[in-house]
């Protein structure tokens, strides 16, 4: 039956404290694991928000991320300080990514870079970086079609889309419907915070109702990206 599956990943970026605690709670209520992508230095006092989308919204720290991980959620890297990696020289992008992974190594329990998915800030990568990155992580997420093939052995490049800066619910609904009406595959949609937190947010009730509706469809599986990648058909 696995080859009939529609896998859905809502990939929540940036590590907003209040939103992520609420998202975790909603996923748990629906017996699901959420997918959080965290900026390695986002919680530090000297962190400078890279853009308006993040403003002064409070971020969680690794104490929170370890706790959420223990509760079954997935915590993955989303950069050292949210630099757009296609805006800086290759060597600088490389060291930012390595610094990000170093912090994850020392702060996140049981972190293994070679099992991790690097989620490019702004979903912005370069072919050169993508090629190098696969020597240090298992896979990466970058911009492209939200509809990916079902996970296969050696799958490295995950593509995603999103909508902002305003509420992204109707964009997400349209893309999700198109996916569910199409052949089996893996839908990866890039989300951020709840209510007014972050770029392209969704409502708290919307998320709860969406998960409730999707979990009753027998062929739909809602999974964090790392868990989905472990399903090899
Ligand atoms: Zn981000």
pLDDT at 233: 60
Convert the pLDDT of each residue in 12-25 to its tens digit.
Answer: 999 999 999 999 99
What's the 216 CA to ligand 1 centre distance in angstroms? Answer: 31
Select from 22, 13, 11 the least CA-distant residue to 194: 22
Kindly tell me if the per-residue pLDDT of 147 is higher than 70: yes
Q: What is the pLDDT of residue 19?
A: 98
The predicted-structure confidence for 49-89, as pLDDT tens digits, reads as follows: 888 778 889 999 999 999 999 999 999 999 999 999 999 99
Question: Are the beta carbons of 163 and 172 closer than 8 angstroms?
Answer: yes
Q: How far apart are CA 194 and CA 154, in angstroms?
A: 33
Distance 2 CA to ligand 1 centre (A): 32
77 Cα distance to chain centroid: 9
Cα–Cα–Cα angle for 123, 127, 133, rounded to 5 degrees: 75
Gap from CA of 233 to ligand 1 centroid (Å): 31
> What value does the mean pLDDT of the chain take?
96
Residue percentage of the chain with pLDDT more than 70: 98
Write down the pLDDT at residue 51: 83
The alpha carbon dihedral of 18, 66, 205, 163 has a sign of positive
Handedness of CA 158, 176, 7, 77 (dihedral sign): positive
CA 168 to centroid of ligand 1, rounded, Å: 15
d(Cα 25, Cα 117) in Å, to the nearest integer? 23
Residue pair 101/119 in contact (Cβ under 8 Å)? The answer is: no
CA dihedral 118, 111, 22, 38 (to 10 degrees): -40
**Sheet with strand 157-160: strands edge to edge:** 117-119, 139-143, 157-160
The domains located in the chain, with CATH, are 2-229 (3.20.20.370)
Q: Parallel, antiparallel, or unpaired for β 185-191 and 147-148?
A: antiparallel
Asked whether the beta carbons of 167 and 203 are under 8 A apart, the reply is yes
Protein residues within 5 Å, CB atom, of ion ligand 1: 13-14, 121
Neighbouring residues of 123: CB distance < 8 A, sequence distance ≥ 6:
141, 142, 143, 144, 160, 162, 190
pTM for this entry: 0.96
Distance of CA 55 from the midpoint of ligand 1 (Å): 12
| Contacts of range 212-218, beta carbons closer than 8 Å, 24 or more positions apart | 212/30, 214/8, 215/30, 215/31, 215/32, 217/6, 217/180
């Amino acid at each position: 039956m696995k080859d009939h599956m529609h896998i859905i990943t809502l990939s929540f970026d940036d590590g907003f404290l209040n939103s992520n605690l609420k998202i975790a709670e909603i996923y748990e209520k629906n017996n699901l694991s959420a997918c959080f992508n965290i900026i390695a230095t986002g919680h530090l006092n000297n962190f400078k928000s890279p853009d308006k989308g993040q403003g002064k919204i409070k971020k969680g720290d690794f104490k929170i991320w370890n706790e959420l991980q223990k509760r079954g959620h997935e915590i993955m890297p989303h950069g050292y300080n949210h630099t757009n990696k296609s805006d800086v020289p290759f060597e600088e992008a490389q060291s930012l990514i390595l610094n990000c992974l170093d912090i994850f190594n020392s702060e996140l329990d049981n972190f293994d870079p070679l099992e991790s998915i690097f989620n490019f800030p702004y979903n912005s990568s370069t072919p050169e970086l993508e090629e190098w990155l696969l020597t240090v992580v298992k896979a990466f997420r970058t911009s492209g079609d939200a509809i990916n093939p079902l996970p296969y052995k050696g799958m490295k490049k995950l593509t995603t889309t999103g909508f902002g800066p305003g509420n992204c619910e109707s964009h997400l609904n349209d893309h999700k419907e198109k996916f569910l009406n199409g052949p089996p595959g893996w839908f990866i949609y890039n989300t951020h915070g709840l209510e007014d937190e972050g770029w392209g947010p969704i409502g708290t009730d919307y998320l709860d109702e969406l998960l409730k509706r999707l979990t009753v469809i027998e062929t739909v599986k809602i999974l964090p990206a790392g868990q989905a990648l472990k399903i090899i058909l």
